[in-house]
Structure 1
Amino acid sequence: MRTIPPSLKPSVVSEIDERLSTVASEHDVRIPWAIESGSRAWGFPSPDSDYDCRFIYVRPRERYLSLWPERDVIETPLDAVFDVNGWDLTKAVRLITKGNATAIEWLRSPIVYTGDAGFRDRLLALASDVAERAAVGRHYRHVALQQRSGPPSLKRFFYVLRPAAALRWLAVHTDEAVPPMDLPTLLSEGDVSAGIRDAARDLIALKAQTRELGSGEAPEILQRFVTEQLDDAERFETMPPTRDVAESRARADAFFRAEIG
């Protein structure tokens, strides 16, 4: 599958395709999932936003049986435009099983460079079965608090607002642990007021038009929303695990073995 919006520059997409092809060839790996992360996939790009391609790769089965495990990350040269790197399937599955929200988000990206829908759906099913909601909630709360503690700016506010919206989504979807990646969908599915959605939409439109948002303050309605979500999500800090660790690991092992054939 492939989902590339017209807003992405064709020349940049072609370069990303080339990098992915080179990675697969030079490292002898299969790439069943490659997506865009960062502000473009989060739904609030700036005119000068770089491209953050992330991928999951799978090595031939026999290479997982070595006494000397290989590095579980592949990186390509980083520059002002391209940030393209990926994780081995082992790393992705371990982190998803622990409730790592970053790894889970990759499966919900609205921008897909190349992907096996079946692989994505199987890994999403695993995440839904084994990921701890509390771990996912803590991740988003800590990200928001960390960003909030930095020098205030409208640009930084987006990196507070999105995790706050993810926390709201988790509060509304009480039996799920795999929130969407992009801010507009989080707000739409998070049952927030029309005022919050409208204020976020206007701020996104402003960010899309200017390279530097400056140090102005975000709308009061969005600031209140963030504070409410962070206060409410404090419950995740002391929430006990709900999954049986041994069972989750067994499911993750079964998924891994099936995927490497």
Structure 2
Amino acid sequence: MREHILMVLKQIEKEFDIKILYACESGSRVWGFPSKDSDFDIRFIYLHKKEWYLSIDQERDVLEVPKHDKLSIQVHELLDLNGWELTKALRLFRKSNPPLLEWLHSDIVYYQTSSAINGMKELEGHVFSPVSGIHHYLKMAKGNYRDYVNREEVKIKRYFNIFRPLLAALWIEKHGAFPPVKFTKLLCDILPTGEIREILDDIIKRKMAGDILDPAPRRKEIINPFLETEIQRLEQYVQEISVEHPNPTDLLNQLFRETLNEVWG
């Protein structure tokens, strides 16, 4: 599959006349608990040629293959590719956008060229906002808890969709830094022992064994109070913290210009 992914990325460059700077895996595969039929969620950052940036009109700055942007070659049905143009990515980076930061922290990297991505990683400390991160992950955890936990039948992966963002928010609270994307790293750091840890260890084993639904009692009397208590506590905590950064725009402008010259001359 990796060879096919690289071929598709090269074809995107050719047909859209761009240069891909970075391409990685995002989602369940990089979180560490994919299903057998999980999509390959490929996310990439790309750069247009210089002329594209000299227009008075702003052009479309995303590519979605094959959902909205078609290629002349066949793309495997499990591939979902989504790319952001570099200036769009840098504007979101300036806002400490958690999905973008997850791309940069992915440990499944398919392709990287130029020094732009390393430059962004070096500047992460200038842009990362614990407030933004906790708000993002807390919103995910609350929404998934509301939607899934009270259902009669719950897919095993739904528990991960609740606990992964919650543990990420707790990591930010504890460390003041962006959390690792691997679920097991979050789990070992935030919940090294205890009943919730034992429940999650069991869920992980069942997920790896291919279980789809959880037919057993969901131990709501343990899980629900923990989730509700931590969500409520984090909601209060995030209202009380504030982290100020100097405006990084000049640094990001410089990084963009250097990348444009590096890639296109």
| Pairwise same-fold verdict (TM > 0.5) | yes
Q: Which of these two proteins has the greater Rg computed from alpha carbons?
A: 2
1:65 pairs with one of 41, 46, 54: 54
CA–CA distance in structure 1, aligned partners of residues 107 and 200 of structure 2: 19
**Partner of residue 205, structure 1:** 205
| Deviation of 1:15 (Å) | 2.3
CA–CA distance in structure 1, aligned partners of residues 207 and 114 of structure 2: 32
Whichever residue aligns with residue 232 of structure 1, its letter is R
CA–CA distance in structure 2, aligned partners of residues 144 and 225 of structure 1: 12
CA–CA distance in structure 2, aligned partners of residues 139 and 185 of structure 1: 19
Moved more, 123-132 or 78-87: 78-87
The answer as to whether partners of 2:25 and 2:110 remain within 8 angstroms in 1 is yes
How many pairs are equivalent?
245
The answer as to whether partners of 1:99 and 1:131 remain within 8 angstroms in 2 is yes
The answer as to whether partners of 2:137 and 2:166 remain within 8 angstroms in 1 is yes
SS at match of 2:244: coil
CA–CA distance in structure 2, aligned partners of residues 89 and 215 of structure 1: 46
**What is the percentage of aligned positions where both structures have the same residue?**
34
CA–CA distance in structure 1, aligned partners of residues 184 and 219 of structure 2: 17
Distance 1:51 1:172, change over 3 A: same
CA–CA distance in structure 2, aligned partners of residues 80 and 224 of structure 1: 40
The Cα RMSD (Å) is: 2.4
Partner deviation per Cα, 1:95-139 (whole Å, 9 max, x = no partner): 111121001100011111112484332212222211222011100
The answer as to whether partners of 1:157 and 1:218 remain within 8 angstroms in 2 is no
Q: How does 1:22-101 map to 2 (within 5 A)?
A: 22-78=11-67, 80-101=77-98
SS at match of 2:44: strand
Q: How does 1:132-143 map to 2 (within 5 A)?
A: 132-143=129-140
Structure 1 unaligned segments of length 5 or more: list them.
1-11
1:130 pairs with one of 121, 127, 130: 127
| Deviation of 1:93 (Å) | 1.1
| Deviation of 1:35 (Å) | 0.6
Whichever residue aligns with residue 130 of structure 1, its letter is V
1:17 pairs with one of 6, 28, 43: 6
Whichever residue aligns with residue 42 of structure 1, its letter is W
Whichever residue aligns with residue 50 of structure 1, its letter is D
CA–CA distance in structure 2, aligned partners of residues 169 and 92 of structure 1: 24
CA–CA distance in structure 2, aligned partners of residues 14 and 139 of structure 1: 34
The answer as to whether partners of 2:25 and 2:109 remain within 8 angstroms in 1 is yes
Structure 2 unaligned segments of length 5 or more: list them.
68-75
| Deviation of 1:252 (Å) | 2.2
CA–CA distance in structure 2, aligned partners of residues 87 and 218 of structure 1: 42
Whichever residue aligns with residue 233 of structure 1, its letter is L
SS at match of 1:70: coil
The answer as to whether partners of 1:101 and 1:139 remain within 8 angstroms in 2 is yes
CA–CA distance in structure 1, aligned partners of residues 257 and 7 of structure 2: 29
The answer as to whether partners of 1:137 and 1:236 remain within 8 angstroms in 2 is yes
